[in-house]
C-alpha cells in the first residue's frame, strides 16, 4: 500500500471520493481538516492506494506537541473497510516513514460489525481527541422519499413532529447570519455530551466552513418568537451527520427538537444523501440507543477510539506526563491550544 498525497487543486475530487465511499464521513472530507490550519495543526490528505488503485482515503490533522513531536489524528477515519486488516497494518508502516517526527496516530474508525471488538493489532486509546465524537450513533437510512421515510418513524416520533406546528413551533432554514442563535443553544448544552465540535466557537467555524462548500444545512425551531431548538446537518456525497441542540426536553421544546431534527433529515434527503448519523440527540434518561434507533427508523453504529504508537519513547513520555504538562488526561486542552 502507498500513501498518495492529494494536492489542493484536487480538493473537489477528494470530496467526491470520500462522499462516494461506503465508509465515507463528512468529517473526513477536505473542509473539516482545513479548519485546523492556524491552531497549531496542519492538515494532510492522502489516498490509500493498493496495487495502483485507491481503496480508501485519509484526512490527517497533525498536532504539534512540542518536544514530543507530532500527534496525528484522523476523526472518523481513515475512510477504509475496517475488515482490510493487511491495509491497516501497512498504514502504520507508511505513516512512520512519511512522518518521522510523529510519535502516535489516533483515529476513530467505524467498528467492524463482523467482529466482537476492535482489531487486536491496534491499541485502544484511553483518551480521545477533541472533538469528542460519540462512540455510538444512530444511522438512519434515507430513501430519497421523505414521505416514505416519515412513515417509517415510530409513532411517538411522528406525533412530536406533527404537533409542533399546531402548538406554534415554526422551523426555518437558517443561514450564516443566524448562527448566533444556534451557538447560544450550544452553550447551554451539557458539556459532557459528545459533539462535532469542542466549543461553540469551533462549532460556528465548522458550520461556516461546510456552508461555504454547500455541504451544510442549519435549522432553527422557534416558539413564541424565541428559538428553543436547532439542528445542524453536514453532508458529503451519500453520507451525512446531524446534531441536535435544544434547551430542555419537555413540552413544546421536545416537539421543537424533533421538528428541527426532521427538517434537517428531510433536507439531507433532498440533497441526495443516503444515510444520516444522528449524534447527541437528547433523549429521556431511561431511553437507550436502541430506543433512539427505533424512533428514527435506524440502526446503532459503533466507532472505536484507537491509538497506534509510531515512536515508542516519545509515545511513552506523552503517556507518563502529568495532566498539567500535556499528558493524556489533558490531551484535549493540548490539542486545542492556539
Flag whether pLDDT at 206 surpasses 60.
Answer: yes
Burial (CB < 10 A; 0-12, 13-18, 19+), residue 320, is exposed
pLDDT digits (tens, 9 = 90+) for 290-303: 888 888 999 988 88
- Span 249-282, pLDDT tens digits: 545 577 888 999 999 999 999 999 999 998 766 5
CATH of domain 2-133+303-335: 3.40.630.30
Check if 2-133+303-335 and 137-301 are the same fold. Answer: yes
Cβ pair 250, 243 in contact under 8 A = no
pTM of the model: 0.84
CATH 3.50.50.60 fits domain 137-301: no
Pick the closest to residue 311 from 24, 10, 103 (CA basis): 103
What is the tens place of the pLDDT at every residue in 55-81? Answer: 999 999 998 888 889 989 998 889 988
- 265: closest CA among 257, 276, 254? 276
Domain residue extents for the chain: 2-133+303-335, 137-301
All three cell numbers of 168 = 406554534
Amino acid at each position: 500500500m502507498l500513501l498518495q498525497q492529494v494536492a489542493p487543486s484536487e480538493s473537489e475530487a477528494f470530496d467526491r471520493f470520500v462522499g462516494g465511499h461506503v465508509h465515507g464521513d463528512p468529517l473526513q472530507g477536505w473542509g473539516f481538516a482545513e479548519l485546523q490550519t492556524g491552531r497549531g495543526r496542519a492538515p494532510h490528505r492522502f489516498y490509500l492506494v493498493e496495487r495502483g488503485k485507491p481503496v480508501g482515503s485519509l484526512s490527517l490533522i497533525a498536532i504539534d506537541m512540542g518536544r514530543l513531536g507530532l500527534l496525528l489524528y484522523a476523526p472518523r477515519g481513515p475512510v477504509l473497510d475496517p475488515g482490510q486488516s493487511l491495509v491497516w497494518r501497512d498504514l502504520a508502516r507508511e505513516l512512520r516513514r512519511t512522518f518521522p517526527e510523529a510519535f502516535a496516530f489516533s483515529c476513530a474508525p467505524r467498528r467492524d460489525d463482523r467482529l466482537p471488538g476492535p482489531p487486536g493489532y491496534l491499541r485502544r486509546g484511553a483518551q480521545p481527541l477533541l472533538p469528542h465524537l460519540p462512540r455510538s450513533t444512530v444511522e438512519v437510512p434515507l430513501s430519497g422519499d421523505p414521505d416514505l421515510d416519515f412513515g417509517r418513524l415510530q409513532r411517538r416520533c411522528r406525533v412530536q413532529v406533527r404537533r409542533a406546528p399546531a402548538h406554534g413551533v415554526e422551523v426555518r432554514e437558517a443561514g450564516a447570519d443566524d448562527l448566533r442563535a444556534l451557538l447560544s443553544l450550544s452553550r447551554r448544552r451539557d458539556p459532557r455530551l459528545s459533539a462535532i465540535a469542542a466549543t461553540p466557537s469551533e462549532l460556528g467555524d465548522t458550520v461556516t466552513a461546510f456552508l461555504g462548500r454547500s455541504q451544510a444545512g442549519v435549522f432553527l425551531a422557534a416558539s413564541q418568537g424565541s428559538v428553543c431548538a436547532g439542528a445542524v446537518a453536514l453532508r458529503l456525497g451519500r453520507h451525512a451527520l446531524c446534531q441536535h441542540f435544544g434547551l430542555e426536553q419537555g413540552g413544546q421544546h421536545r416537539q421543537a427538537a424533533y421538528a428541527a431534527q426532521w427538517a434537517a433529515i428531510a433536507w439531507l434527503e433532498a440533497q441526495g444523501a443516503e444515510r444520516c448519523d444522528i449524534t447527541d440527540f437528547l433523549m429521556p434518561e431511561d431511553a437507550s440507543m436502541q430506543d433512539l434507533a427505533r424512533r428514527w427508523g435506524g440502526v446503532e453504529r459503533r466507532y472505536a477510539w484507537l491509538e497506534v504508537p509510531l515512536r515508542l519513547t516519545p509515545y511513552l513520555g506523552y503517556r507518563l506526563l502529568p495532566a498539567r504538562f500535556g499528558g493524556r488526561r489533558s490531551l484535549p486542552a493540548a490539542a486545542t491550544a492556539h
